Amino acid sequence: MSNNNVSAIKSTHNSGPSLEQKNVIEAPINQDVLIVAGAGSGKTYTMTRRVIHLIKSKVPPESILGLTFTNKAAAELLSRVSAEVSASGAKSFLKPEVMTYDAFFQSIVRRYGLLVGFNQNTMPLSDAGAMEIIKSIIGKYLDNPQNNAKNLSKLYNFDTLCADVINLCAEISCSMIGVDSIGETCSSVSQAVQKIREWNNEFAKHLKNVIADRKVESPLSAKAPAIPKYKKVKKTAGMSEQDVEKASAEKFKNACKNYEKYWNDSCLQFCINLYNACLKRDILLDLVLQFDAEKKRVNMAQFSDFTIAAYYLVTHFPSICAQYRNQYSQVLLDEYQDTSTTQAMLINTLFYGNAAAEGNRTHVMAVGDPFQAIYSFRGASTGAFCKFEQDFNISAQNKYSLTVTRRNSLFILKVANALTEPMRAENGDNSTQNASRRFSSIDDREVQVETLKPKDDAPNGTVCALFMPNQGEEIDAVVQFAKKIVEKYGENPLEPQLAILFRSKAKMPQYAQKLEDAGIRTSIVGYSSLIEKPAVKDVLSLLRVIQDHSDSNSLMRLLATPRFALSTADLGVLASIANSANTEYLYNVYASAGLVEDGLPRSQWDSAVRNLRNKANSGEISAQVINIYGGVYLADLIMRDFGDFGASGDSGDSGKSAVAG
């Protein structure tokens, strides 16, 4: 791309707003409005000019509220709005308020939380803090003999269990709070858990009746058998035509039986899997309730907890809604496609609700792009725009689109439109034209999204595709491309010339290192490069082992570093030595307690310990009986050997041999 082309893309609004933008900026101020703004269509500029238009239309600046999702976006919008307000000559000391959705919901809870017993000193809980609480809760749950640890150990490993509790809690917070399709209100996590559990128990009961005593006799093959077809067997010596027909019919009959059995077993296995999922869900619901209670006990809350508390407040205290409607007459909602169901209902209740009956009204403008919905993993709901249309009674004349993209060249835009074309196809359209199109992952397609169009003076740009046989050659090709770009356009060394986008952050360091080796400075965004450096990982592993001798994974990482240079075989030997020592320790403790036979030969210790643990897992004996504090860990063995080695006064490489066993 030439410098002229770069300049053409940068000069976005020198000629003022486009007709589409002008229509949005000057939309009626006494009505709710929905804006579908495509990528690069000047959304922030349009929102900024909309605020100026509102102020010029005698709307007090302090009664305008802008909400967006990130602190960065909020800061950018606030900066632009403040600058435009000052530049417009508006004589007002107060400025419009711009904040994140989470910050706004928190402010409601901080202000009115005492009405529902929400401690105003509650502190935000980070993801890491939430995980620590979850781990503590699960540890106590496993130690409690009254809980069904047998089923839990069969269904889960510890890390997966922690992650699933976090995910289920997030799903409940983002999707279950509010008014459902039959008009029932759910305003707390405990209410949501009760509703889920009622459904889960009924479903599990039905599945249990379906499964009964049946079992899948043999493992299912990964590939389903082909549909049987009747085919005559080959005639051999002594076979009559009648024999051939009989053998062919028998072969076909057996094939049909096997085919039927495969699909019966498949359906049965599917039902068994669903039943196991119900058992898992029941355990998860217990842990979600404990997690919710523990957060309240320690006065900590996640962002979703503040949202739930705010929703409870505005639904139970209509006077709060009235106060906010009096305070804000105009609200602009940025990136509306990323709102969760709970957030959307909270916004609707707060600014719309029974406003007409009460005589005061806040007018809302929602802006976003369904094709840029990126927060589904955080609870963003599909159909957010469609729901907004329904909840705010948006008419056709109050729906606007921004379709002219101001930052994309022609070829890039053409590729982007081709990629998003299947998402525009109407569901259920079986025409020849759309026969090859795959359905959109957005179930209700939100609202109609028009094809993006380029500016009249948009540069052609360049799009190319390069496929390399392996990752190493791909990295080298990217480095060579980057060098040419920097040489051609790098007049200003402080201005970045190239961006490399990744599907995941795992490969970022490899590309960054190769670029740095080639003399190209890099800045990694969205990746904690410091903590991922090998030296830093080694230090963290060392600290973890010092703090927790049972952390064998961290110890193995340390021993595999160049400082110790132990091979995979050496590490395997070390692990075997540690397991053997731990088995000896457990056997002696169990034998002293009379749980296993004393005096067994060493070769039988492992099976004795294993049989005892199997009894605990099967419920024959209490799991609490065999729980032992401590054990023999690899770190302890190594420190003991090094201590003996140091006391003997030896030196040289023999120490490494002693450790390796």
For the chain, the domains span 3-100+328-424, 124-298, 471-517, 534-660
State the pLDDT at residue 660.
32
Q: Is 231 annotated as a binding residue?
A: no
State the pLDDT at residue 375.
63
Q: Is 43 annotated as a binding residue?
A: yes
476/293 Cα distance (integer angstroms): 53
Alpha-carbon separation of residue 27 from 24, 43, 55, 77 (angstroms): 5, 15, 13, 20
φ/ψ of residue 317, rounded to 5: -130, 85
Q: Which residues contact 454 (CB under 8 A, 6 or more apart)?
A: 404, 405, 408, 409, 410, 413
Q: Is 304 annotated as a binding residue?
A: no
Q: Is 39 annotated as a binding residue?
A: yes
- Cβ distance 329 to 59 under 8 Å? yes
Q: Which residues contact 616 (CB under 8 A, 6 or more apart)?
A: 622, 623, 625, 626
State the pLDDT at residue 148.
64
134/300 Cα distance (integer angstroms): 13
Residue found by looking up tokens 């056709």 in the block: 396
φ/ψ of residue 399, rounded to 5: -110, 130
323/159 Cα distance (integer angstroms): 45
Strand partners, 34: 366, 399
Q: Is 477 annotated as a binding residue?
A: no
Q: Is 490 annotated as a binding residue?
A: no
655/661 Cα distance (integer angstroms): 10
Amino acid at 550: S
Ranges under pLDDT 70 in the chain: 1-15, 88-93, 145, 148-155, 180-183, 354-359, 374-382, 425-446, 528-532, 616-632, 641-661
CA 346 to chain centre: 23
438/475 Cα distance (integer angstroms): 32
3-class DSSP assignment, residue 527: coil
Residue found by looking up tokens 């900066």 in the block: 79
State the pLDDT at residue 201.
95
Q: Which residues contact 390 (CB under 8 A, 6 or more apart)?
A: none
Amino acid at 459: P
Kindly compute the dihedral angle of the four CA atoms of residues 301, 307, 311, 314, in this order, to the nearest 10 degrees: 90
Picking from 332, 369, 337, 322, the residue whose alpha carbon sits closest to that of residue 98 is: 332
574/566 Cα distance (integer angstroms): 10
State the pLDDT at residue 325.
93
Q: How many residues does the chain have?
A: 661
- Cβ distance 625 to 616 under 8 Å? yes
503/582 Cα distance (integer angstroms): 43
329/559 Cα distance (integer angstroms): 64
Q: Is 382 annotated as a binding residue?
A: no
Per-residue tokens: 527: 């990746």
CATH class of the structural domain 3-100+328-424 = alpha beta
State the pLDDT at residue 154.
65
Q: Is 89 annotated as a binding residue?
A: no
φ/ψ of residue 431, rounded to 5: -65, 160
Radius of gyration of the chain (CA): 33
549/526 Cα distance (integer angstroms): 32
